[in-house]
Structures are given as structure tokens and as C-alpha cells.
Amino acid sequence: MGQLANKVAIVTGADQGIGRAIAFHLAREGAAIAVDYAHHEERAREAVRDIEQSGSRAFAIQADVGNPDDVARLFTETRQRYGRLDILVNNAGIEQQANFWEMKLETYQHILGVSLTGAWLCSQHAAKQMIDQGAGGRIINISSVHEDLPMPTNAAYCVAKGGLRMLMRTIAVELAPYKITVNNIAPGAIDTPLDKPVKEDPKKLEQLLAEIPLRRMGQPEEIGQLALYLASPAAAYVTGSTFAIDGGMLRHSGSL
């Protein structure tokens, strides 16, 4: 039996990339997974098949985390199917780059709605259920190095991740009496489909690698392994922290 046997996890945005890798790592250690997705049903069902082949349980559910009704349904259906909730991974997020003075308000609101308000809503539902269960729990947010590191033309995304940092720090203190830990994972450049344009442009790729002391992009599986640690019994005394996984990018930039 794995170290997460009999645990139940919701992973938002779990149909691809980092979210999918996290879902698989948690499942491999025995957790049953609610694979949340926003748009791509077939990718989510493929993730479920991969998890089931590993010997664990999973189901796919469409829910826009920026929509309160969708979030309520996500948690209700997970509870109806598995009876409890032990781990929430707030992975869903979006970005859209534009000059600060040209970004439309609706774009800004949409980015914050998914990347920050979505994490707020999901964490609220998770906290209520975990408190009612009385057995503690884990809330893990997938943030970014840009919760600290400025990124011109990406102000809305940086605002969302900076807000996620303070949300994590605040509720970590508030939820600690209930044995609910809250932490952020802050990836740097990770090799996902979103970074395909950078990888295909040698000049852009070299500029990126020049900012990373380890001279490579991270892999989604590496994020999955860190999330597994934070969800595991080994991290029972870990709360209120951001864990950068960036190949040294933050240190190289002089941030923090």
C-alpha cells in the first residue's frame, strides 16, 4: 500500500502538463483522484485511464474553477463518489501576455478569476469539508516564481500569483488548529505544451536558459514529486511556505 492509501484528492486542471503529473504521482501512492478539467474532456479521460492502469481510482469532471456553481459541484460529486476529501491541489491557472497599459479589464478579471479566485473558492470548500471530517488535510497551490519575480507584459498573472502567496500564508495560520496544512509550489520554466513556442525558437530558448543556473527546463514529473512530498505524512509539520522549483532562477535574478 502506498503512503496515500485511502486518501482522496482533487487536482484542478489535471488533464495535462503539471496537473496531470501531480495527479499521477498522488495516485501512484494510493490516492483516489478527481481529475478536474475546463475544456478538454478526452485529455482528462486519458489521464483517468493512466491512473486506473496504475492501480488507483479516478474520475474526470468538468468544472471551471472561476465559477462558484462549478466549484460546488466539483466538491459535491467528489464527496458523493469517494466519501471524503484529504488533499486539494489548486493547479488550474491561465495567463495572457499584453502590455500593461493595453490589457483589457475583462482579460485581467478572467485571469484572476481562474488563477486566484478559483484557488480561493476551492480552498474554501476544501477547508469546510476537512474541518467537518476532523482529520486534517492538505491544500497545495501551484503558484509560480512570479509570485516574487516581476514579469513585464504579464502583470495580471503576477498579481494572481502574488495574491496566491498571501492567501496561502494567511489561511495556513488560520487552518493550522484543524491540522490542515497549506503550501505553495512555485515552478520556474517547466517543459509543458505552453512553452512549446519558446522551445521552438532557439534565440528565445537560449535567453531563457541563460536565466537558469541549472541550464535546463524542469519536467512536470519533478513538480509531481514535490507535490507528493507535501501531500505525504513526511510533510505533516510543513505549512505556510512557498517551495521554489526553478533550477535556481530566483537566486540568479537576485529576487528574495
Q: Has 157 been annotated as catalytic? A: yes
Q: How many CB atoms lie within 10 A of CB 147?
A: 22
Residue type, 109: Q
Sheet holding 32-37, edge to edge: 58-62, 32-37, 8-11, 87-90, 137-142, 180-187, 242-245
Alpha helix locations (H) across the chain?
17-28, 41-53, 68-82, 105-112, 118-133, 155-175, 196-199, 202-209, 220-231, 249-253
Residue 167: which of 130, 134, 118 has the closest Cα? 118
Of these residues, 157, 178, 229, 237, which one is catalytic? 157
| Dihedral (CA of 139, 141, 147, 149) sign | positive
| SS3 call for 71 | helix
- Centre a 10 Å sphere on the Cβ of residue 67 and count the other Cβ atoms it contains: 17
The CA–CA distances, whole Å, from 56 to 122, 135, 161, 234 equal 23, 22, 32, 21
Query: Which of the residues are catalytic?
Result: 157
